[in-house]
Structure 1
Amino acid sequence: MRLTREGNALWEAFDDAHKRAQLLGELEIPMKFFARAVQHIMREYAQHDCGNFAFSKAIWDGGVDESGYARARK
């Protein structure tokens, strides 16, 4: 699984979660939530890894949700 080009997609997923939760202030992503999101996705989708695997918005949104970011920031 290649993450090289996924930085913007992950940032957007956190930004969307921040907005949906109506959190105050600018988006700041503590490393523990970033790591949890990526770890969740790696565990859940490792079996799908192949040459043409592509991450979707739904995959990143799910990873951010599983990280607990919005719940912790409220």
Structure 2
Amino acid sequence: MADDVFGCRVLMFRAALSSACARLPHDDELPRPAGYRLIKDADALWCAFETAHHKANLPDQLEIPMEPFARAVEIVLKDSELRDDRGYTPEVVLWDHAVRHSAYVQSRHAMGRVLAAAA
């Protein structure tokens, strides 16, 4: 059951990322040879957030707010800028590092305190 839910969430995450990337120019429309594409690492990014979620013992299901998501992607892209080429893919440890520094866990803890105070 858990694998089915995880697989479904990864597919939904990948679909959302694909839709966002669909608005970008295709490789053949770029003026230079294309490099890294974020969609290639949808699973690694999801797993990094899932790992952080479980390590922090956060309640409820994994939900990734846009701000920590964007922050994690920004960290990886900035770190990867000089290494970008056709065969480049960021390492999993870089995604883990980016998620740790995205404030995902901190924002989920803060949201939990706000909801608890409102109850």
Query: TM-score under structure 1 normalisation?
Result: 0.90
**Who is 1:46 aligned against?**
81
Q: For residues 14-62 of structure 1, give each alpha carbon's deviation from its aligned partner in whole angstroms, at most 9, with x where no partner exists.
A: 0000001110110000111111100111111211112221221101101
Q: Secondary structure at the match of 2:89?
A: coil
Percent identity over paired residues:
38
Q: Do 2:72 and 2:101's aligned partners in 1 also have CA atoms closer than 8 Å?
A: yes
* 1:13 lines up with 2:48 in the alignment: yes
Q: Secondary structure at the match of 2:44?
A: helix
**Who is 2:26 aligned against?**
none
Which runs of at least 4 in structure 1 moved beyond 2 Å after TM superposition? none
Q: Secondary structure at the match of 2:39?
A: coil
The code of the aligned residue for 1:40 comes to I
The code of the aligned residue for 2:52 comes to A
**Who is 1:34 aligned against?**
69
How many residue pairs are counted as aligned between the two chains?
Answer: 74
**Who is 2:92 aligned against?**
57
- Measured in 2, the distance between the counterparts of 1:56 and 1:42 equals 12
Q: Relative contact order: is structure 1 or structure 2 higher (C-alpha 8 Å, sep ≥ 6)? A: 1
The code of the aligned residue for 1:57 comes to V
Structure 2 residue runs of 5 or longer lacking an equivalent are 1-35, 110-119
**Who is 2:104 aligned against?**
69
Q: Which has the higher helix share?
A: 2
- Measured in 2, the distance between the counterparts of 1:27 and 1:68 equals 15
Structure 1 residue runs of 5 or longer lacking an equivalent are none
**Who is 2:21 aligned against?**
none
Q: Do 2:80 and 2:90's aligned partners in 1 also have CA atoms closer than 8 Å?
A: no
